[in-house]
């Protein structure tokens, strides 16, 4: 495929990405929230955008089906980053990865006593690493969404999830008991494409870099 294909997900990343693309002179022809199209042209004949699930962005870029993309650090850590060049932290879609538990649950005491905790999460790799580093034994339960429900339904004692305002936790009577890391979105580029299409990709990367400064 000649030209540039950029993998993006709908929602907050797309919205916050638009000004960065605009700074690089790239304007999508349609709003993916309104269109059902998964391949969207831009003002540039040689640039197109493909709309994929947030967690699929690294996969498209890894295999070169997209030359570049924008993905959260959360998603990149779960993916592993194989085949991806990650030149820029875009400082968008900022939130934090944290452990949350029901307001009445004494998480610190459970950890101190060496209780075997059940942790429900979409982020198995990050959670495994976090609890292993603390020497806390956990049973990790993989979920694909609505993590907040798990402690309420008795599936797990705590969850590992992304939090920004904390209002979803609050609405479900959960509290943040530990911050694991701060999260933002990164530009990812296929390593082979960066060499083969350098003269196309490098100006886009440079313009985005200038826009975030």
Strands 95-102, 68-72: pairing kind: unpaired
Quickly tell me which residue has 């200038």 as its tokens: 210
The verdict on 172 binding ligand ATP (CB under 6 A) reads no
The verdict on 183 binding ligand ATP (CB under 6 A) reads yes
CB 91 within 8 A of CB 140: no
Question: How far is the C-alpha of 197 from the C-alpha of 50, rounded, in Å?
Answer: 18
Strand partners, 189: 68, 85
For residue 59, count other CB atoms closer than 10 A to its CB: 20
The verdict on 12 binding ligand ATP (CB under 6 A) reads yes
Phi, psi values for residue 111, rounded to 5°: -65, -45
Residue nearest to ligand ATP (CB): 72
For ligand ATP, how many residues bind (rule: CB under 6 A)? 18
Please report, to the nearest 10 degrees, the dihedral formed by the alpha carbons of residues 164, 133, 186, 75 taken in order. Answer: -80
Phi, psi values for residue 77, rounded to 5°: -65, -40
Quickly tell me which residue has 């292993």 as its tokens: 132
The single residue among 55, 86, 146, 191 that binds ligand ATP, judged by CB under 6 A, is: 55
The verdict on 65 binding ligand ATP (CB under 6 A) reads no
Choose between 53 and 116: whose C-beta lies nearer to ligand ATP.
53
CB of 143 to ligand ATP, least distance (A): 11
The verdict on 142 binding ligand ATP (CB under 6 A) reads no
Choose between 9 and 121: whose C-beta lies nearer to ligand ATP.
9
The single residue among 47, 50, 52, 93 that binds ligand ATP, judged by CB under 6 A, is: 93
Choose between 15 and 46: whose C-beta lies nearer to ligand ATP.
15
Q: Where along the sequence are the contacts to ligand ATP (CB under 6 A)?
A: 9, 11-13, 53-55, 72, 74-75, 93-95, 145, 162, 164, 183, 185
């Amino acid at each position: 495929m000649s030209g540039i294909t950029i993998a993006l997900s709908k929602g907050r990343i797309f919205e916050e990405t638009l000004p960065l693309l605009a700074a690089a002179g790239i304007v999508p022809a349609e709003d993916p929230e309104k269109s059902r199209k998964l391949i969207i042209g831009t003002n540039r004949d040689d640039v197109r955008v493909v709309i994929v699930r947030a967690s699929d962005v690294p996969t498209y870029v890894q295999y070169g089906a997209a030359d570049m993309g924008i993905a959260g650090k959360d998603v990149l850590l779960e993916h592993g980053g194989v085949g991806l060049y990650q030149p820029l932290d875009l400082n968008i879609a900022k939130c934090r990865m944290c452990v949350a538990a029901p307001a009445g649950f004494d998480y610190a005491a459970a950890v101190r006593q060496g209780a075997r905790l059940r942790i429900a999460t979409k982020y198995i790799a990050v959670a495994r690493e976090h609890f292993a580093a603390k020497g806390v034994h956990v049973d990790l339960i993989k979920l694909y969404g609505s993590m907040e429900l798990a402690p309420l339904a008795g599936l797990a004692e705590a969850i590992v999830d992304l939090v920004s305002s904390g209002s979803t936790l609050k609405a479900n009577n959960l509290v943040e008991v530990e911050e694991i890391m701060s999260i933002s979105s990164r530009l990812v580029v296929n390593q082979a494409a960066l060499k083969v299409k350098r003269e196309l990709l490098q100006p886009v990367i440079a313009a985005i870099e200038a826009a975030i400064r």
